[in-house]
Amino acid sequence: MALIEFRKVKKYFPVQKGFIDSLFSREESYVKAVDDISFTIEKGEVLGLAGESGSGKTTTGRMAVRLLKPTEGEIIYDGEDIASLGGKELRLLRRRLQFTFQDPTSSLNPRMKIGDAIADALRLQGIGTKEERREQSEETLEIVGLSPASSFYDRLPHQLSGGQKQRVVFGRAIILKPEFVVTDEPVAMVDVSIKAQILNLMTDLKKELNLTYLFISHDLATARHVCDRIAIMYLGQIIEVADRDSIYEDPLHPYSVGLMSAIPIPNPAIKKTEAVPRGEIPSPINPPNGCRFHPRCPKAFDRCSIEEPVLKDVGDGRSVACHLY
């Protein structure tokens, strides 16, 4: 059963024009950060969202927990369209949906004790007395592995290692007992030696609290350890979705093939020199006509620059947006 479903969701950000540009043109231009995406996440599933920087992953994640409002489309959460919720309804919804930011240092107040930072999520929702919030925060510190809680509660963020700060970030996310958590590059800012501990923590929390995750990562090697399915984004669109093993062992879309070939221990079946995409990701203000990937695609042919491929079901639970399929 789907816990969350995106239906034809778009997020466009208006581009601020300089004074001279505004004299010559009145036409508005937009960064098409997310441009017509549809996907579902099943209850209890970990869906990975992968792609290069600028592909729209973080914008998608922020819309999923309604930190951002979509420009168009529906986001169905547990049977209800949350795309345009506001006010009290949105505040109550936020108890059920949480987001962990990529950089734990900048997402924690440097002057707030970490125990208070975790308890603050309860205060903002008007839950409990000060003492009750402290008690719950201490319990949460233990759950995320900052034990004994009494020795961590009063510490400031600068007194913690990167991995410990990431644990605080997860603590703040789970204290409200959410159902769905979006984690944005949760191990991008921690040492390699700590990565496995944070991924294990995520997995343990999932089991203990029955969580569903959207796991945002540009690092496909890491995503493989925690995700059930992977969706690949390119320039604001989803271009392939498949279960973890299929997409790593037999990626279909030429862009997915390129990403897989960039993993440090690549699948030897993929010919690396053919697979790596050429050049840089184009501007999301004026994406290429036809298939957005065609200027970089080693398999492009005439139709690709004219007609935009749609994401379609190719069997075995896989979908791909490419004229080759």
- Contacting residues toward ligand SF4, per CB under 6 A: 253-254, 291, 293-294, 297, 299-300, 304, 309, 322-324
**Cα→Cα distances 282→128, 165, 217, Å:** 49, 35, 20
**Shortest Cβ distance from residue 214 to ligand SF4 (Å)?**
24
CB-CB contact of 244 with 229 (8 Å):
yes
**Shortest Cβ distance from residue 320 to ligand SF4 (Å)?**
9
- Three-state SS at 280: coil
**Shortest Cβ distance from residue 299 to ligand SF4 (Å)?**
4
CA distance 245 to 232: 14
Nearer to ligand SF4, 88 or 278 (CB): 278
Nearer to ligand SF4, 16 or 286 (CB): 286
Nearer to ligand SF4, 97 or 291 (CB): 291
CB-CB contact of 41 with 227 (8 Å):
no
Nearer to ligand SF4, 171 or 309 (CB): 309
Nearer to ligand SF4, 69 or 299 (CB): 299
**Shortest Cβ distance from residue 313 to ligand SF4 (Å)?**
16
- Residue identified by tokens 């929390």 is 205
Q: What are the start-end ranges of the E strands in the chain?
A: 2-14, 30-42, 46-50, 72-77, 80-81, 97-100, 180-184, 212-217, 229-234, 237-243, 312-315, 318-320
**Shortest Cβ distance from residue 282 to ligand SF4 (Å)?**
13
Residues in the chain, overall count? 325
